[in-house]
Copies of this chain bind each other. A is one copy, B any other.
Amino acid sequence: MRLTRYFLPVLKETPADAQIPSHRLMLRAGMIRQSAAGIYSWLPFGYRVLQRIERIVHEEQQRAGHIPMLMPTLQSADLWKQSGRYDAYGPEMLRITDRHDREMLYGPTNEEMITDIVANYVTSYKALPLTLYHIQWKFRDEVRPRFGVMRGREFLMKDGYNFDLTKEAALHAYNRHLVSYLRTYERMGLQAIPMRADSGPIGGDYTHEFLVLAETGESEVFYDSEITDLRFGDRAIDYDNEAQCQAVLSEFTSRYARTDETHDEAAFDEVPEARRRTARGIEVGQIFYFGTDYSEKLGAFVQNEAGARVPLHMGSHGIGVSRLLGAIIEASHDDKGIIWPEGVAPFEVGLVNLRQGDASTDSACEGILRELEAKGLSVLYDDRDERAGGKFATMDLIGLPWRITVGPRGLANGMVELTSRRTGESEEMTPEWAIKRLSEIYAPHHAAALAI
């Protein structure tokens, strides 16, 4: 993409009303624009990152065997009355009346609708196990929307629902989600720690929230420092293998890690003092096994092997897709701007032409652009007629992980400069070598992609 043909309205000034770095940087980098309180337009650059994140979530869900579908944003109130949540849900639920005076709502979540769907089509245990998910816009009418996309009103969420014959099978689905979430967040360059969550009125031990450590997090968290040494890495997992998934869960949840909601001072005291940590975290996902509550209320029963009619064991599992952009920036920025992890970079390489209009510099840039794209790398080429300082400032602000700088002086020796946004370190090398290096850097990220 050539910058002169793109729409990247970066702001010089820091917006006064944005209180946290991610909100400020998303506004400054031309990623979002507020259209109403807590409701944002995703400008082209922000939309690219949103798509990258959405894609990773899709790939990892499908790798785990979960099936994508799409439920609508608006729902009839009927099913919510059946589950009892229409009254229980407070003013955060946006209630709507249509032209025929029917009660509708903008879905904040989809337990009722998906249970109704499964109840209508699935009658036998033979169709199980089944996990369906979708990535769709939700609405919660927050009384004070703030922090940009971190606590917006219209937000994009992945919510998935498992349907299983037995509690045991549903707990495998729970573990499978935990494993897939670990992979998902790591591909985005995030460390998201599963922490024991509060299961609310339904009760039970089977719910974890995933938290990204960041000073601006809304939750206070308490954990054993050993947990931050854990990496999922590129281990091969057979998602059907119950023992393998269980082992990952044990590895990642056996150490103390809780939010203020579930914090237990006595248990925390058993962690060796040198490893006790208190910090702040951003919630980016939650998994929850809740049993047969919705199935019973909404009639999701199947015949089991013995011919008996039994309610399905369910869980729901969410990832805050639009919120993740904020979380990633909170975890990865400096005073110059955003630093995108390679896995979610909206463009993998920034190409800076130091002397736009100079025939040989232009032609070197065009050649590098062509070569990079031929290798499957996405490039933002700053082909504006602007000073080097302005170009570097834009690149630093928008945070592409790698930059190639091309100028007449370097070219005289056949050299360009490759710069890491994270370390700020630059190295002179031939264009061929820079392209080779970038291909190698991104190879594991491309290899992690799944054809879906």
Contact = CB atoms under 8 A, between A and B. Distances in A.
A334 to B, nearest CB: 25
Contacts of A154: 72-74
B67 A41 contact: no
Interface in A37-95: 37, 39-44, 46-47, 50, 65, 67-76, 91, 94
B6 A39 contact: no
Contacts of A99: 91, 94, 141, 143
9 contacts: A9-B121, A35-B116, A36-B74, A36-B104, A37-B102, A44-B69, A47-B68, A73-B154, A96-B106
A250 interface: no
A451 B120 contact: no
A7 interface: yes
A137 interface: yes
A113 interface: yes
Nearest to A373: B451
Given A7-B130, A69-B43, A96 B98 contact: no
Given A35-B76, A132-B44, A141-B99, A70 B94 contact: no
Contacts of A96: 94, 96, 106
A33 B110 CA distance: 15
Nearest to A451: B376
A35 B113 contact: yes
A391 B32 CA distance: 49
Interface in A381-401: none
Given A99-B141, A141-B99, A451-B376, A33 B120 contact: yes
B36 A71 contact: no
A117 to B, nearest CB: 6
A62 to B, nearest CB: 9
A139 interface: yes
Given A74-B154, A113-B35, A137-B73, A7 B132 contact: yes
B113 A41 contact: yes
A275 interface: no
Contact of A139 (B33, B68, B74): B74
A5 interface: yes
Interface string A113-137: 1001100111000010010101001
Interface string A3-33: 0011101000000000000000000001001
A337 to B, nearest CB: 18
Contacts of A50: 70
The 5 closest A-B pairs by CB, nearest first: A9-B121, A36-B76, A42-B70, A91-B99, A41-B71
Contacts of A76: 35-36, 39
Q: Which of A42, A71, A74, A134 has the most CB of B within 10 A?
A: A74
B137 A67 contact: no
